[in-house]
Structure 1
Amino acid sequence: MQQSDFDQFSQILNATADLYGKKMSDMALALWWNAMQQYDLAAVRDGLSRHMQNPDSGQFMPKPADVIKFIGGSTQDAALLAWAKVDRAVRSVGTYQTVVFDDPIIHAVVSDMGGWVSLGSKTEDEWPFVAREFENRYRGYRTQGGAQEYPRVLVGMYETQNSRNGFMTEPPVMIGDAGAAKQVLSGGSDKPRIGFSRMETADYQEIIEPVRRIA
């Protein structure tokens, strides 16, 4: 969560405390915030809801650990659903086509794993390991509050070849909810995830010369 989420977070916690006949002090709210800040607000809300609906522990006011336990399940569920969407797209649309998913985290994870074309080069024997890596990376992004930067599109082989040869590229294939996919497209970036630049010789010499003298 971001600092801008604090007011809404405190409202949710105070409402939860009211439900259990408790009062949330400023100190308790600060402790909750420190414990839960690494998660996104939607996941916290979902974790609280799952706790309250649990027949074994839901009658007791939750502690941060109770909510975190359910958040782990919710992020796993989200990761499995996201992977199912990617798996279907690879098998039905293929990685020759440029695609846009309706979830920016999918774009970030696929990019981190080498890109859309690279994903399509994996064998069936490799596929379970690819799925596990995807799910772990996806859960990591979810617990950090989502993907702050991600590629606008996942470029397929056709677009790569057409761009190299100076040909026009076709619009991407939208995967999932078309409206959400358009938002992902407009909110993404064309910049490389990792930038590269060469250091100037003078700067390099200025840094390395004292090290050489000591050696």
Structure 2
Amino acid sequence: MSENDFDVFAVLLDAAYALYGKALPAEAKAAYFESLKDWPMETVRAALNAHVRDAQRGQFAPKPADLIAQWEGYTAHDGRPEADEAWAIALAAQDEAATLVWTAEMMEAFGIARVVLDRGDQVGARMAFKDAYKRLVEAARKARRAVHWQTSLGWDAEQREVALTQAVARRRISASTAAALLPPPDRIDEGDGAHQVRANLQRIREQLAALPSPLQRARAARAARLREQRQTVRARKSGMLEQIWRYAYLYPDTFPVFPLLTYDQSVSARVRPECRCPMPVPAAQAKRKAA
């Protein structure tokens, strides 16, 4: 990041901390920015998003060390294929009819291997590709660059539909990107099967439109985590209150005063059936002592 990115960085940081009901002073933001200034802005954004979605670390406001840990974990599973899978994907670049969804590292590595491949040496081309691809991926991860999937459209419309649909299912491109790359109905050549092609395209568009966006998935996941956390806290509070009432009933002399604490009917059913009375603890103790 450059100094010009500080304002955008501050907005991202404020938004993240607002989720936890906190705010950072200007001095802390400056120190935060200084510790991450070697990172690209898109990497900082990805690390912040990963932190707030993390079931464990995401329970607390992010510190620079948290973002670094998120990114280190992300690079191990950043969606970049292994070299053998990348080679199998890149080989389709020889077919002008095929639609490719590949990364910048695949594209550059295949450009290096293409010279060897054109000479008919597929084994040598594969080795050259794998060496170049591993080197490029390592450099990208060291530079903290997120994976970027690109599309290269072939002339075969049916193969395009299959490739784009698979890419969306694997979360390599968004549904809106895939829908924009499908040919509109008025550009389909008339002929045998044209009506079926239009119907298939419409079906695929509807399926893509029904898929949740990354933001919607993130919101749903966060809402599910919050519901689970609330249920856990509620269960803990209920258990603690039950223990307090049980102890207060058995040892009333050790609880002379319970300010602002009233009896909970849902807890009373699990403590003693004869204690079902909506009254403060001191009143209940006085009643037992009088008896």
Shift of 1:80: 1.3
Q: 1:98-177 maps to which residues of 2 (within 5 A)? A: 110=109, 115-117=112-114, 120=117, 122=124, 129-141=131-143, 143=144
Q: What secondary structure sits across from 1:43 in the alignment?
A: helix
Q: Contact 2:35/2:64 (CA < 8 Å) preserved in 1? A: yes
Q: Which amino acid is the alignment partner of residue 137 of structure 2?
A: E
Residue equivalent to 2:40: 40
User: Please, which runs of 5 or more residues in structure 1 have no aligned partner?
Assistant: 147-174, 180-215
Amino acid at match of 2:141: R
Give the aligned residue type for 1:134. Answer: L
Other structure's SS at 1:93 match: helix
Cα distance in structure 1, aligned partners of 2:146 and 2:131: 25
Structure with the bigger percentage of helix = 2
CA distance in 1, matches of 2:78, 2:113: 20
The one-character-per-residue Cα deviations of 1:13-33 (angstroms, maximum 9, x if unpaired) are: 011122222221111111111
Identical-residue share of aligned pairs (%): 21
Name the CA distance, whole Å, in 1 between partners of 2:64 and 2:145: 16
Cα deviations across residues 39-61 of structure 1 (Å, max 9, x unaligned)? 22222122112212222221111
Q: Equivalent residue of 1:80, what SS?
A: coil
Instruction: Return closer, same or farther for 1:27/1:137 CA change in 2, 3 Å cut-off.
Output: same
- Do the aligned partners of residues 57 and 37 (structure 1) sit closer, same or farther apart at CA in structure 2, a change above 3 Å counting? same
Give deviations 1:141-188, integer Å, cap 9, x for gaps.
4x2699xxxxxxxxxxxxxxxxxxxxxxxxxxxx988x9xxxxxxxxx
Size of the aligned set, in residue pairs, is 149
Residue 85 of structure 1, CA deviation: 7.9
Change (3 A) 1:86 1:44: same
Instruction: Determine the structure 1 residue equivalent to 2:26.
Output: 26
In the superposition, the TM-score normalised over structure 2's length comes to: 0.39
The alpha-carbon distance between structure 1 residues 125 and 83, as it changes in their structure 2 partners (threshold 3 A), is: closer
Verify the 8 A CA contact 1:79 1:138 in the aligned structure 2. Answer: no
Distance (Å, rounded) in 2 between the aligned partners of 1:42 and 1:30 = 18
- Residue type matched to 1:8 in 2? V
Deviation at 1:116, TM superposition (A): 4.2
Whole-Å separation in 1 of the counterparts to 2:83 and 2:64 = 28
Q: Is the 8 A contact 1:76 1:135 kept in 2?
A: no
Q: Tell whether the 8 Å contact from 2:32 to 2:64 is kept in structure 1 after alignment.
A: yes
In 2, Cα distance between the equivalents of 1:37 and 1:55? 27
Letter in 2 for 1:38: D
Instruction: Please report how far the alpha carbon of residue 131 of structure 1 lies from its aligned counterpart in structure 2 after TM superposition.
Output: 4.5
Task: Describe the SS at the equivalent of 1:115.
Answer: helix
Relative to structure 1, the CA distance from residue 53 to residue 6 in structure 2 (aligned partners, 3 Å threshold; closer, same or farther) is same
Match of 1:55 in 2: 55
Could you say which structure has the greater relative contact order, defined with CA pairs below 8 angstroms and 6 or more residues apart?
1
Contact 1:51 1:67 in 2 (8 A): yes
Deviation for aligned residue 1:94: 3.8
Distance 1:126 1:35, change over 3 A: same
Letter in 2 for 1:9: F
Q: Which has the greater radius of gyration?
A: 2
The CA deviation at 1:135 is 2.0
Distance 1:101 1:5 in 2: 31
Contact 1:76 1:139 in 2 (8 A): no
Q: CA deviation at 1:106?
A: 5.4
Letter in 2 for 1:110: A
Q: CA deviation at 1:132?
A: 3.0
How far the C-alpha of 1:35 sits from its partner, in A, is: 1.5
Question: CA 1:86–1:145 in structure 2 vs 1: closer, same or farther (change >3 Å)?
Answer: closer
